[in-house]
Structure 1
Amino acid sequence: MIGTSTALSSRSLPFAGQSLSGEMLLPLTAVLLVAVPVFLQAPLVRQAPHAAALFTLPLVAAAVLLERHGRGSWQQLGPLLVGFSGSWLAGCLFWGWFREHPLLHLPIEAFALPLALAGLGGRWRLAGAFYLASLLGTAATDTAIALTGLMPLWPQVLSAPLSEAPLVLRQAGETVLEPANIALVTAMAALLIGVCTQLWKRGGSARVSAATLAATLAVDGLFLAAALLAPLSSGLI
């Protein structure tokens, strides 16, 4: 997924010259960037969609400043934050204005796909690594939702009165626990774990992709648990 080029300078090579602890900084940061917004962004966007979307601007500004003027790991956090900014903006657009239309989820999340692919060949490869792995996780989740028959429940959960939404969400979670659906989700998870393992072995920015994708799997598992045990804490309603 992520290649290296001898034509690139050491400045653009992620993890170049870093210690083991330095190599772990960016993957761990990627995990945090996946985990933190998942249960916070949807409720925030519902309350103030314009403000949430506009927050992308300071995110990008901070990212560019870090990339241009940062040193060491701080400089490498800049491109990573750019990738996160793309995912953040896509999430704001969907959850703010299109959340009851699940078929639009993936197309909106993929709005920056050409830029992410182009970034893999240069100094913004960490941005592409994060964004593309996040998009792959989103695609896998949406595919699982469709194949397990949950897609019709999506708009029902979001449009139901607050008193009824937890019951609909719990029903969706219980649907996933049906034997056939458990087998499907387990198979997809095993496949994605295999992808994560191969990416991690490649090192460099591929480890950011691996960490991002693995974090997406973990968060989806937590979301399912929240839907079953504490629907109001899931962030979806």
Structure 2
Amino acid sequence: MNNTLSSYTPSNSSYSNSLKKLTFETWAQQWADKRWVIFLAAVFLVSVPVFFEAPLVRLFPGLSLALTGGWLGLSLFLGSRPATQRWGDLLFGFTWTWMAGSIYWGWFRWEPLLHLPIEAIGLPLVVVGFAKGWGKLGHWFYLGSLFGTAMTDLYFYLVDLIPHWRRLMLVEPNLTQPIFQSAVAQMQTPSGMSWAIVLVVILLTVGSVPLLSRQLHWWAFGGAVLSTLLVDGLFWLVATAA
């Protein structure tokens, strides 16, 4: 009798595992189909470097760059499974923003002129992806993040904050307060405020219009663009509090 019952155990266990797998895959796919979830995921992935990558890359740039391989491997793994394909796609785009951030802030942060070219390191992959018809969600996320970076850098050039950038990257953390105060004073001039308003309007427009679409990749793009306002706002708070 016991032997008879035990013969059903593997079958029941296998069924239970299959059910759990099916439940997880169904859950993952259903969430990936929701536009607002993709939007929030894009916002999160742009904001992550502010809280995690920035301090990591300053102390351990090599480790931060090495993590690119982990992100890439995870994105390819998720992308190979139908239920998590969209998450892998989105993470694939994030991988290149992480790699670019690690390279620039790890070894070239004192030279603002190199910031945008290094952040654009993933553009060849975007071109290839669009030509081959794969990675649309991740590529549009990457482009949204890059556009936001370009707008922020443009503001620094227009308001002549580049000298402050260079000095901040060269001094010890306990000596940054006067530099922050000088930068904030320059941002609060009529010219600084005017350009800030112009660029905020551009970011709001470029980030919001894609949300009128029902296609997920536009929501990833819009989330990445609009999250620039969140990140820049955090930097503004840090600068004014200094």
What TM-score range do you get, normalising by the shorter chain? 0.7 to 0.9
Equivalent residues in 2 for 1:60-71 (5 A)? 60-71=72-83
Per the normalisation by structure 1, the TM-score is: 0.84
Distance 1:192 1:119 in 2: 25
Q: What are the ranges of 5 or more consecutive residues in structure 2 without an aligned counterpart?
A: 1-28
Partner of 1:212 in structure 2? 224
Equivalent residues in 2 for 1:38-77 (5 A)? 38-71=50-83, 74-77=84-87
Distance 1:79 1:53 in 2: 20
Shift of 1:131: 0.7
1:31-89 residue CA offsets vs partner (Å, 9 max, x unmatched): 10111212432221111011000001010111011010251xx3211010010000000
Q: Which amino acid aligns with 1:158?
A: M
Distance 2:178 2:135 in 1: 44
Shift of 1:163: 2.3
Residue identity (%): 34
RMSD: 1.8
Equivalent residues in 2 for 1:84-233 (5 A)? 84-120=94-130, 122-204=133-215, 205-229=217-241, 231=242
Per the normalisation by structure 2, the TM-score is: 0.82
Q: What are the ranges of 5 or more consecutive residues in structure 1 without an aligned counterpart?
A: 1-16, 232-237
Runs of 4+ residues deviating >6 angstroms:
none
Equivalent residues of 1:120, 1:129 under 8 A apart: no
SS in 1 for 2:107: helix
Matched pairs, number? 212
Distance 2:219 2:126 in 1: 16
SS in 2 for 1:203: coil
SS in 2 for 1:123: coil
Q: Which amino acid aligns with 1:37?
A: P
